[in-house]
Chain A
Amino acid sequence: MADRYVELKSVSKSYGGVPALTKVDFRCEPGRVHAILGENGAGKSTLMKLLAGVIQPDSGTISIGGQTVRFSSPREAAEQGTVCMFQELSLMPHLSVGDNIVLAAPRTRMGLVERGVYREAREALDLVGASSIPLGARVSGLSLSERQLVEIAKAVFRKPKLLILDEATSALTSELVETVFGVLRMLKAQGVAILFISHRMHEVDAIADRISVFRNGRHIETFDVGARTTDQIVGLMIGRSLEELFPPRRPPVPDTTPAVLDVSDVSWQSQLVNVSLAARAGEIVGLGGLDAQGQQQIMHAVFGVLRGVTGRIELNGKRLNGLQPPRLKQSDIGLALVPEDRKTEGLIPSMSVALNMRLAALGRAPFGLLDLNGNSDARLRQLIERLALTYGSLEDPVATLSGGNQQKVVLAKWLVLSPKCLLLMDPTRGIDLGTKAQIYRLLTDLAAEGMAVILQSTDYEELIHLCDRVYVFYRGSVAKELKGDQLSADALIAASMNVHLHARAQMS
Chain B
Amino acid sequence: MTWLRQNAREAIAALALVVLFAAYIAIHPRGFSTYVVTIWSNDGTLLGLAAIAQFFVVLVKGIDLSVGSVVALTNVVASFVLNGSPASIALGMVAVLAVGVACGLVNGIAVVYGRVQPIVTTLATGGMFSGIALLLRPTPGGSIDETMSDALTYAVAGIPVSAIVLVVVLVALLVLLRRTAVGLGLYGVGSSEQSAYMTGLRVNRLKLFAYASSGFIAALAGIYVSMVTLTGDPNIGPSYTLNSIAAVVLGGVALSGGVGSPIGAVIGALILKTISSLMFFSGLPPLAQPFFEGLILATAIALGALGVFRVRSRLELYR
Tell me whether A and B are bound partners: yes
Chain A residues closer than 8 Å to B194, beta-carbon distance: 88, 90
Instruction: List CB contacts (< 8 Å) of B183-204 with chain A.
Output: 184-185, 187-188, 190-192, 194-202
Q: With the chains together, A84 CA to B195 CA distance in Å?
A: 12
| Complex contact B180–A103 (CB within 8 A) | no
Q: With the chains together, A268 CA to B198 CA distance in Å?
A: 34
Instruction: List CB contacts (< 8 Å) of A96-113 with chain B.
Output: 99-100, 102-106, 108, 111-113
Q: With the chains together, A305 CA to B314 CA distance in Å?
A: 5
Q: Which one of A94, A100, A105 has the highest number of Cβ atoms from chain B below 10 Å of its Cβ? A: A94
Instruction: List CB contacts (< 8 Å) of B259-273 with chain A.
Output: 259
| Complex contact A74–B197 (CB within 8 A) | yes
Q: With the chains together, A108 CA to B192 CA distance in Å?
A: 23
| Complex contact B6–A308 (CB within 8 A) | no
Chain A residues closer than 8 Å to B313, beta-carbon distance: 300, 305-307
| Complex contact B181–A108 (CB within 8 A) | yes
| Complex contact B198–A300 (CB within 8 A) | no
| Complex contact B312–A269 (CB within 8 A) | yes
Q: How far is the CB of A132 from chain B (nearest CB, A)?
A: 15
Q: With the chains together, A335 CA to B180 CA distance in Å?
A: 52
B179 at the interface (CB under 8 A from A): yes
Interface size classification for chain B: 20 to 34
| Complex contact B200–A75 (CB within 8 A) | yes
Q: With the chains together, A106 CA to B200 CA distance in Å?
A: 11
Name the residue of chain A whose CB is nearest to the CB of B182.
A111
Chain A residues closer than 8 Å to B184, beta-carbon distance: 95, 99, 102-103, 106, 113
Chain A residues closer than 8 Å to B157, beta-carbon distance: none
Q: With the chains together, A95 CA to B192 CA distance in Å?
A: 10
Instruction: List CB contacts (< 8 Å) of A331-359 with chain B.
Output: 345
Name the residue of chain B whose CB is nearest to the CB of A89.
B195
A68 at the interface (CB under 8 A from B): no
Q: How far is the CB of A329 from chain B (nearest CB, A)?
A: 15
Chain A residues closer than 8 Å to B175, beta-carbon distance: 112
Name the residue of chain A whose CB is nearest to the CB of B185.
A103
A252 at the interface (CB under 8 A from B): no
B315 at the interface (CB under 8 A from A): yes
Chain A residues closer than 8 Å to B1, beta-carbon distance: none
**B283-319 to A contact mask, C-beta < 8 Å, 1/0:** 0000000000000000000000000000111110000
Partner of B191, one of A93, A113, A306, A308: A93
Name the residue of chain B whose CB is nearest to the CB of A134.
B2
Q: With the chains together, A108 CA to B175 CA distance in Å?
A: 13
| Complex contact B199–A103 (CB within 8 A) | yes
Partner of A103, one of B2, B179, B181, B258: B181
| Complex contact B312–A306 (CB within 8 A) | yes
Partner of B201, one of A54, A75, A91: A75
Chain B residues closer than 8 Å to A471, beta-carbon distance: none
Q: With the chains together, A271 CA to B6 CA distance in Å?
A: 23
Q: With the chains together, A300 CA to B314 CA distance in Å?
A: 9
A73 at the interface (CB under 8 A from B): yes
Chain B residues closer than 8 Å to A418, beta-carbon distance: none
Q: With the chains together, A94 CA to B189 CA distance in Å?
A: 10
| Complex contact B258–A92 (CB within 8 A) | yes
A10 at the interface (CB under 8 A from B): no
| Complex contact A93–B192 (CB within 8 A) | yes
Chain B residues closer than 8 Å to A88, beta-carbon distance: 194
| Complex contact A73–B197 (CB within 8 A) | yes
A116 at the interface (CB under 8 A from B): no
Chain B residues closer than 8 Å to A86, beta-carbon distance: 198
Q: How far is the CB of A391 from chain B (nearest CB, A)?
A: 28
Chain B residues closer than 8 Å to A308, beta-carbon distance: 312
Instruction: List CB contacts (< 8 Å) of A134-165 with chain B.
Output: 136, 138, 154
**A94-B315 CB under 8 A given contacts A74-B198, A138-B6:** no
Q: With the chains together, A89 CA to B191 CA distance in Å?
A: 13
A42 at the interface (CB under 8 A from B): no
Chain A residues closer than 8 Å to B191, beta-carbon distance: 92-95
Name the residue of chain B whose CB is nearest to the CB of A117.
B181
| Complex contact A306–B179 (CB within 8 A) | no
Q: With the chains together, A102 CA to B178 CA distance in Å?
A: 12
A324 at the interface (CB under 8 A from B): yes
Partner of B187, one of A74, A94, A268: A94
| Complex contact A92–B188 (CB within 8 A) | yes
**A170-202 to B contact mask, C-beta < 8 Å, 1/0:** 000000000000000000000000000000000
Chain B residues closer than 8 Å to A268, beta-carbon distance: 312
Q: With the chains together, A307 CA to B185 CA distance in Å?
A: 35
A78 at the interface (CB under 8 A from B): yes
Residues of A within 8 A of B (CB): 54, 73-75, 78-79, 84, 86, 88-95, 99-100, 102-106, 108, 111-113, 136, 138, 154, 268-269, 300, 304-308, 324, 345
Q: Sorted from nearest, which 8 A-B pairs have the closest CB atoms? A: A90-B198, A106-B181, A75-B200, A94-B191, A92-B191, A94-B258, A92-B188, A90-B195
14 contacts between A and B (CB under 8 A): A74-B197, A74-B199, A90-B194, A93-B258, A95-B187, A99-B184, A100-B188, A103-B185, A108-B180, A111-B180, A136-B2, A304-B314, A306-B312, A307-B312
Residues of B within 8 A of A (CB): 2, 6, 175, 179-181, 184-185, 187-188, 190-192, 194-202, 258-259, 311-315
Extra inter-chain contacts (10) besides given A113-B181, A136-B2, CB under 8 Å: A54-B198, A74-B200, A92-B258, A93-B192, A95-B184, A105-B200, A106-B184, A269-B312, A307-B311, A324-B314
